[in-house]
Amino acid sequence: MAFTVVQKLDKDPKDITPDYTLDTLGEPCPYPAIVMLETMPQLQKGEILELLSDCAQSINNIPVDTKNHGYTLLSVEQDGTTLRYLIQR
């Protein structure tokens, strides 16, 4: 896929290697946010989760939920309807 960066922090997303991937493609909202919030506590501090979603509403939910739960959203990328989030615990 050829993702376009929507938002990023310091590093370019292609320079970040996620520790885990959650593929929620085809799942309706709010499932991507729920499964992300259930998964993040299982990660060690500093580990990175890659979340893939094609739910358009996730662009609103994931950044807010990430911040509200004390995680760091490293980047948001988009390729067509697919969104890729890199979230650090």
Compute the distance between CA of residue 19 and CA of residue 43 in angstroms, rounded to an integer.
9
Q: Which of 28, 82, 24 is nearest to 49 (CA)?
A: 24
Q: Which of 16, 29, 34, 43 is catalytic?
A: 29
Is 55 annotated as catalytic? no
Q: Which two tokens stand for residue 78?
A: 């988009």
Could you give the residue numbers annotated as active site?
29
